[in-house]
Amino acid sequence: MKTMNRSSEYLLQVENLTVEFRTDDETVRVVDGVSFAIRRGEILGLVGESGSGKSVSSLAIMGLLPPSMAKITDGHILFDGQDLLRMQPSEIRRIRGNRIGMIFQEPLTALNPVFTVGHQIITGIRAHEAIRWNDARTRAIELLGLVGIADPSVAIDAYPFQMSGGMRQRVLIAMALSSDPDLLIADEPTTALDVTIQAQILDLLRKIREKTGIAILFITHDLAVISELCDNVAVLYAGEIQERGPVDEIFSKPRHPYTQGLLSCIADPTSKQPLMPIEGTPPLLSEVSGCRFSPRCRHALDGCHAKHPEIQYLENEQEIRCLYWQEILRN
Ligand SMILES: Nc1ncnc2c1ncn2[C@@H]1O[C@H](COP(=O)(O)OP(=O)(O)OP(=O)(O)O)[C@@H](O)[C@H]1O
Ligand SMILES: [Mg+2]
């Protein structure tokens, strides 16, 4: 692990992050007051249905939102105590290259088909470090070994099409780790893979965390994956965090009706169905008042449609956004 400024307990603190998208005739707030934090070495899962704002949140952290369409209208993103939203673009690029790595869902499109994987890893290493090609190649072989690729000194000269989807995802993880980052952001990195390979990749991420002390923000629509991998979880719905806390707590005693609904649909861990456990669909974000989940909530009372619930902070670092969670638990 690198020596780091340990002034704060947290590596990443996202506070009140608010992102709006502008189209010709309207502005839609797709991420609304999202707050969470990740300690060094922690794996935080960010879970939610399609369209809940997971990718937009992660792109905001990486400084990769398209500026012509998306605007961060509020909030702070503190990385190691420094606010990424108030930095010069060159500084953000330096942090993104060196201290935050990112992997995405689709391993084939993220790799260039005309270059060997070695070429791509080496070029990546040399983009943020003054290092000779041969030394970078040695490091690339080590990285391929770290991510569990057999015979890395041979695999380094393979083209992406010569590899399986699982191997390509390992290559992308190797690339993301090449600068020895403090934080890895993984946006649905296993969704395109079959369950066996998915389990291997999760296992790999766990081992890498143990070995390197890296913190991981792991984004998924699948709570079963969260239970396999994460220490803590934040449940996102319609651009807002509805519940957050330690994975053990949330899985043994989900308090929010939305989390309860999500959990009730993971009885079959081999199911690759998209997440639709609860009747209905998320609201159009421009049209919500009251609790955003209330139109689909089987416990909703009149008050839920009228009053927008604030986050309540509980013990064990748990948080919940539901007016009646105590009554619901009692019944
Ligand atoms: N370029 C864009 N222009 C307008 N709206 C957008 C754009 N990108 C995303 N959105 C909207 O922002 C919201 C959040 O999208 P986001 O991609 O973060 O969802 P997600 O939680 O990552 O979903 P998925 O599980 O499908 O990846 C959605 O309602 C989406 O329609
Ligand atoms: Mg997404």
* 85 and 197 assigned to the same domain: yes
Pocket test for ligand 1, best of 18, 21, 284 (most atoms within 8 A of CB): 21
**Pair 236, 321 in one domain:** yes
Domain end (from 157, 180, 203) = 180
Q: For residue 105, which atom of ligand 1 is closest to its CA?
A: 27
229 and 308 assigned to the same domain: yes
Q: Is residue 2 domain-resident?
A: no
pLDDT of residue 73: 95
pLDDT the model gives residue 191: 84
Q: Give 162 Cα–ligand 1 centroid separation in angstroms.
A: 32
Please state, in angstroms and as integers, the Cα–Cα distance from residue 288 to each residue in 32, 91, 305, following that order: 12, 37, 9
Last residue of a domain, one of 180, 212, 245: 180
- Closest ligand 1 atom to Cα of 49: 25
Q: In terms of domains, do 197 and 173 share one?
A: no
Are 297 and 203 in a shared domain?
A: yes
Whether 241 and 267 map to the same domain: the answer is yes
What does the pLDDT read at residue 27? Answer: 87
Contacts of 194 (CB under 8 A, 6+ apart): none
Q: Residue 109 pLDDT more than 90?
A: no
Mean pLDDT, rounded, for 215-235: 95
What digits encode the pLDDT tens for the residues 257-286? Answer: 999 988 887 755 555 554 445 666 666 665
Answer yes or no: do 209 and 241 share one domain.
yes
Is 28 within the bounds of a domain?
Answer: yes
Instruction: Supply the range of the domain harboring residue 57.
Output: 10-99+182-330
Atom of ligand 1 nearest to the CA of 48: 21
- State how beta strands 215-220 and 43-47 pair: parallel
Examine residue 4 and state whether it is found in any structural domain, yes or no.
no
Residue whose CA is closest, atom 1 of ligand 1?
A: 69
* 163 and 36 assigned to the same domain: no
For the segment 188-208, the average pLDDT, to the nearest whole number, is 90
pLDDT at residue 278 in the model: 66
The answer to whether residue 237 is domain-embedded is: yes
- What letters, b where the CB count within 10 A reaches 16 and e where it falls short, cover 34-60? bbbbbebbbbbbbbbbebbbbbbbbbb
pLDDT at 5: 47
Which one is predicted more confidently, 255 or 96? 255
The residue-averaged pLDDT of 93-110 equals 82
Q: What is the dihedral of CA 170, 171, 173, 175, to 10 degrees?
A: 170
Structure confidence at residue 4 (pLDDT): 47
Do residues 245 and 274 share a domain?
Answer: yes
Q: Give me the chain's average pLDDT, please.
A: 89
Q: Work out the average pLDDT over 107-129.
A: 89
> Within this chain, do residues 196 and 237 fall inside the same structural domain, yes or no?
yes
Query: Is 5 within a domain?
Result: no
Q: What is the CATH number of the domain that holds 235?
A: 3.40.50.300
pTM metric for this prediction: 0.91
Q: What is the pLDDT of residue 280?
A: 66
Question: Do residues 191 and 220 both lie within one domain?
Answer: yes
Distances (CA, A) of 285 to 32, 72, 322: 10, 16, 18
Question: Is the model's pLDDT at 192 over the cut of 90?
Answer: no
C-alpha–C-alpha distance, residues 146 and 141, integer Å: 9
Q: Which ligand is nearest to the CA of 48?
A: 1
Mutate-to-test residue for ligand 1 from 54, 187, 225, 285, highest number of ligand atoms within 8 A of CB = 54
Q: How confident is the model at residue 1 (pLDDT cuts 50, 70, 90)?
A: very low
- Overall domain count for the chain: 2
Would the pLDDT of 3 be above 50?
no
